[in-house]
Amino acid sequence: MSDLQVVVQEITDEMQAMPNRGEVATYIPELAGVDPNQFALVVVDAQGNVAAGGDADVPFSIQSISKVFTLTLALGKFGDRLWERVGREPSGSRFNSIVQLESEHGIPRNPFINAGAIAVTDAIVAGHQPREALGEILRFMQFLAADDSIYIDHKVAASEARTGFRNAALANYMKSYGVIDGPVDYALGVYFHHCAIAMSCRQLAMAGRFLAHFGANPSTILPVVTPERARRINALMLTCGHYDGSGEFAYRVGLPGKSGVGGGILAIAPGKASIAVWSPGLDVSGNSKRGRLALERLSKRMEWSIFGA
Ligand code: DON
């Protein structure tokens, strides 16, 4: 067994023995019904070695983690022009907050809060039918993970659409400022569906490899994005990836990371590894409770914090 596999298994055992797992999201039945005892941790290192612990092959709802990949796609299409409609500053607010939008003329603080992600999705949809845009997002995920079995959970998407009044409010509000170009329903529909993509930790860690390896997919050596863009996406994940919990995540884990309300986190140790963790119970900011703790222990034991050992 490799040292990495030993550490991953140790942390998995520790997390599975932990009594306080946090509360699962309850706003849709598909998330409310998830067993909070599940836990998975998968690390793919620079050599392509995979270390996996727990429920590594169980698909879960990636939710806001999808925002990393839609941002990557939108930057590919628009380059720096994307920053005319979305900012790059941490919000210090909850993921679905509307408060800053009025004083900031409908421009969302960053691409990872819901408003910012909806604006990014609108950019991807531009000039396409929603179905085409969604197909492009899903195929991108399948390509990055080298796995065609990744799918959209249509029940989750339908529940998101049925309950997504606040997201609809954010989108309409941005539309009133002209920040959303296309039909609000198109951007929202595609947003609800990309949040409903289901992936396992193994698939997610594979999909994140380009961010850990300076923009290139290590198995093909082909660039997905430039090294500069990968570095900048990582910077945004560090500063904004956990909403109002981003400071605490940087303080404790010291790695770029993006959480989802399904309990997943994608974390990147630049030059070293792509890491996916899943534990459905959340903390008060809506980020995975055991997931963050597992990453804190992993980055400490592997000395992977970008701020030094
Ligand atoms: O739009 C929403 O509210 C959800 N589909 C995604 C939110 C989310 O994952 C927030 N992250 N912790």
24 and 109 within one domain: no
Q: Is the CB of 246 under 6 A from ligand 1?
A: no
The answer to whether the Cα torsion of 133, 161, 194, 60 is positive or negative is negative
What per-residue confidence (pLDDT) applies to 144?
96
Q: How does 118-137 read in b/e, with b if 16+ C-beta sit within 10 Å?
A: bbbbbbbbeeeebeebbebb
279 and 163 within one domain: no
Domain end position, chosen among 162, 197, 232 = 197
Residue at 308 is within a domain: no
CATH of the domain at 176: 3.40.710.10
Residue at 7 is within a domain: yes
103 and 18 within one domain: no
How far is C-alpha 125 from the chain's CA centre? 19
Residue at 293 is within a domain: yes
Q: How does 153-165 read in b/e, with b if 16+ C-beta sit within 10 Å?
A: beebbebbbeebe
178 and 75 within one domain: yes
What per-residue confidence (pLDDT) applies to 217?
84
pLDDT one-digit tens code per residue, 236-279? 999 999 999 999 999 999 999 999 999 999 999 999 999 999 99
Q: What angle do CA 102, 103, 104 make, to 5 degrees?
A: 90
What per-residue confidence (pLDDT) applies to 20?
85
Residue keyed to tokens 């914090």:
305
Residue at 148 is within a domain: yes
Residue at 175 is within a domain: yes
Q: Is the CB of 25 under 6 A from ligand 1?
A: no
Residue keyed to tokens 């950019």:
123
Which atom in ligand 1 lies closest to the alpha carbon of residue 117?
1
Mind telling me the catalytic residues? 64, 67, 191, 243, 261
Question: What are phi and psi for residue 225, nearest 5 degrees?
Answer: -140, 170
244 and 213 within one domain: yes
Partner residues linked to 60 by β-bridges? 199
Please tell me the distance from the alpha carbon of residue 132 to that of residue 189, in angstroms, as a whole number.
12
The mean pLDDT value for 185-209 works out to 98
Q: Is the CB of 208 under 6 A from ligand 1?
A: no
203 and 275 within one domain: yes
80 and 187 within one domain: yes
What is the four-CA torsion angle of 39, 276, 267, 188, rounded to 10 degrees?
-100
Q: Is 71 helix (H, G, I), strand (E, B) or coil?
A: helix
208 and 172 within one domain: no
Residue 136: pLDDT band (50, 70, 90) is: very high
Q: Is the CB of 260 under 6 A from ligand 1?
A: yes
Query: How far is residue 184 from each of residues 67, 121, 130, 168, 190, measured CA to CA in Å?
Result: 18, 10, 11, 8, 10
Residue at 134 is within a domain: yes
Domain end position, chosen among 197, 217, 244 = 197
| Higher pLDDT among residues 97 and 60, named by residue | 60
The answer to whether the Cα torsion of 26, 29, 33, 38 is positive or negative is negative
Partner residues linked to 197 by β-bridges? 152
What is this structure's pTM?
0.98
The mean pLDDT value for 285-298 works out to 96
256 and 144 within one domain: no
Residue 100: pLDDT band (50, 70, 90) is: very high
CA atoms within 13 A on the CB side of 142: 12
173 and 161 within one domain: yes
Q: Is the CB of 286 under 6 A from ligand 1?
A: yes
Q: At what angle do helices 289-302 and 3-16 cross, to 10 degrees?
A: 150
What per-residue confidence (pLDDT) applies to 58?
98
The residues near 93 (Cβ < 8 Å, ≥ 6 apart) are 99, 100, 109, 113, 243, 244
Tell me the residue range of the domain where 118 lies: 64-197
* Average pLDDT taken over every residue of the chain: 96
Which atom in ligand 1 lies closest to the alpha carbon of residue 282?
12
What per-residue confidence (pLDDT) applies to 230?
98
**196 pLDDT above the threshold of 80:** yes
Which atom in ligand 1 lies closest to the alpha carbon of residue 64?
9
**297 pLDDT above the threshold of 80:** yes
Number of domains composing the chain: 2
Give, using CA atoms, the residue closest to atom 1 of ligand 1.
114
Domain end position, chosen among 138, 171, 197 = 197
250 and 176 within one domain: no
